[in-house]
Every structure is written in structure tokens, then in C-alpha cells.
Amino acid sequence: KAQERFNWRMTTTWPAGLPFFQTGPGSATDFARRVEEMSDGRIRIRVYSANELVPAFEGFDAASSGRQVQLNHGCAYYWAGKSFAAQYFTSVPFGMTFQGHNAWLNEGGGYELYREVYEPFDLIPLVVGCTGVQPMGWFRKPVESLADFRGLNIRMPGLAGDIYNAIGANARLLPGGELFAALERGAIDAAEWVGPYSDRELGLHRAAKYYYSSGWHEPATSTEVVVNRRAWESLPKDLQAIMRNAAAACNITSHAWLEARNADALDDLVNNHEVQFGPVPDDVIQALLEATRDILSDRASNDELTRKVHESYFKFKARHDRWQANSETMFQTQIRDLGQKILG
């Protein structure tokens, strides 16, 4: 029994070769490789990129039925149409960053709720990656005030799209392949993708020059692997532990990898590609915050489970914010700035 072997299929929501998500440290293929190595080949996971086996957003259902596909790699907010609460496990607009988000998941009851939300789908979630804070996005024209958002065509999927609509913009849906072209040609005025490294790979700096920060809409985008429940339960305890530990390792590895790449990429974009990088005016943030508050509280009251997740998240956030204000935030402002002056 201990030597039973598992040959599994994992679909993903990503095109083949997409760094961070599909290839490279902490990605979907890296997760499969780690699991195979740690289990000495007892679990083999064949990874399929989007459209190879099923279209990008159909892998969740495939893993849910679990007979052909046992796992899917993606982001929880893609499943908001199936269960609105899923949104919270990827990232929450104006929510917590990497540290707080992971602290909530691991120690603040987040993981338990995550499992509860996916229970009807017969899926077990594992957090496997984090992009860190994403930028707000690329704009063809400078943003000087809230008025600049009126009628602005912006490529923004999910909840953030609704929030932009609430402040007067038009959220557009576009396939990934059209993103660069649409922005470059002006069919849309603004777009967001992942972060400096991934955005540069897509060439967005050649399409627009105003790059705004910081990503209020996705402060800590987490990626997930969902495992079919029956497949999960068929695993002996040691292999379950291997899966969990491979996920935890990918989570930290992917974040570390992208943090390093983003630092280089941002320097390159600003120094070599005439990209204007900076914050948006306060009145924009103010309006976005108010819209987020209204929309989130409205949607959270829609169903019981979302309300529960919402309350858990924001209760944890309030507590964690107080600690972070006196640790991370203080360090990043007062201590770091002084430190840079003296230590260089």
C-alpha cells in the first residue's frame, strides 16, 4: 500500500510558458516537479496548459468531477461566478498584502473557510503562490484627477472592474492575446496585468507609458492548486504531507522569485524605457475606496458564506493592521528611509 503510485493530470488556467504561473520557480510545473521529487515518483503530475485538455476556465469543474483531471492550478477569483466568496482567497481590494494575507489563511481561520467554500465542489485548496503587491496598471494618458476616469476604457476583469465602473470608467473584457494590441492601438485606455516583470514580458511598456501604483485592487494575488477530494483522500498520509509542503514551498519560492524580478524590471522600465511610474492622486483612491466599501458590503450581504468570509477577513485585517503599522509599515517608512541615508 505504501508503494502505491498515482498518475495525475493537472490542468491550469495559464498559457504554456507563462513565467511565474506556468513555468519557473514556484509555478504550476515547478509544483508538479517538486511533488514528484519529494515522493520519489510515487505521485506524477502531468501538467496541461490552458486549451490543451480544456479551455482556461474549465479546469476547476474538471478537477471537481475528478475522474479525468485530479488537480487544477489557477486563481480563486476566477470562480467568483460559482461562489462569490472564492474572491477573498486570491486577494481583496484594499485588503492585506503577502504577510497579512498568508497570516490570515494559515493562522486566522482563512484556510478553514477556503476549504468550506470549496466543499460543495469536492475540492481541497492549497495556496501555491503569491505575486505580491501588483501595480495599478498601465495608462495611455496621465491620471491627474478622478475626472480622468470618466468614460475611461479599462481592461479589468472581476470585482475590480465593477469598482472602476462605479467611479465612471468602462470595464472591458478582452482575451489575453488582445490585451497588448488593444492598449497599444487605443481600443482601451488602460490595462492591468501582473507586475513589472510580467508586464514587461508582455510588452505593455511599449503600449502605454504611465504606470501607476500601487495595486489597490490586488494587494496580494495568491494562486491555488485545487485537488479533487477523492483523489486527496486516496493518498496515504505521507503523500498528503508532501503535497502540502510542496505547496508551501512554492508559495514562498514564487513570491521571492517575482519580488527579485520585479525589482530589476521596474528599474529597467523607468531607466531604459521612459516609463513614468508613480502614485495616483488621493481623490482617485478615495473614490475607489468608497466604491469598494459599497460594493463589497452589498455583495457580502448576498449570501451567508460570503458574509462569514468577509467578516473573518476584515476582523483579522483590523487586528493585523495595528501590528503591521507598528512593525512593517514603521520599518518601511521611518527606519528604512533613515537607514538608506546612513547605510546607503
Question: Which one, 66 or 215, has the nearer CB to Na ion?
Answer: 215
Report residue 297 as a C-alpha cell: 458590503
**Which of 2, 173, 318, 342 touches other proteins by CB under 8 A?**
173
Site string for Na ion, 134-163 (x = CB under 5 A): x-----------------------------
- Stretch of 102-110, 156-164, 214-222, 334-342 contacting other proteins, by CB under 8 A: 156-164
157 binds, among Na ion, other proteins, none (CB under 5 to 8 A by kind): other proteins
Task: Name which of residues 183 to 202 contact other proteins (CB under 8 A).
Answer: 184-187
The answer to whether 113 touches 242, Cβ cutoff 8 Å, is no
Residue 289 lies near other proteins (rule: CB under 8 A): no
203 binds, among other proteins, Na ion, none (CB under 5 to 8 A by kind): none
Question: Which one, 134 or 262, has the nearer CB to Na ion?
Answer: 134
Site string for other proteins, 73-92 (x = CB under 8 A): ----xxxxxx----------
Smallest separation, CB 178 to other proteins (Å): 6
How many whole angstroms separate alpha carbon 235 and alpha carbon 40?
14
Task: Name which of residues 48 to 67 contact other proteins (CB under 8 A).
Answer: 51-55, 57-58, 61-62, 65, 67
How many whole angstroms separate alpha carbon 33 and alpha carbon 344?
40
Number of residues that bind Na ion (CB under 5 A): 1
82 binds, among other proteins, Na ion, none (CB under 5 to 8 A by kind): other proteins
Residue 182 lies near other proteins (rule: CB under 8 A): yes
68 binds, among other proteins, Na ion, none (CB under 5 to 8 A by kind): other proteins
Contacts of 111 (CB under 8 A, 6+ apart): 105, 125, 127
- Stretch of 9-17, 123-131, 233-241, 275-283 contacting other proteins, by CB under 8 A: 9-17
Closest CA to 131 of 289, 270, 253, 314: 253
Residues that bind Na ion (CB under 5 A): 134
Contact residues for other proteins, defined by CB under 8 A? 15-17, 51-55, 57-58, 61-62, 65, 67-69, 77-82, 120, 150-151, 153, 157-159, 161-163, 165, 170-178, 180-182, 184-187, 295, 299
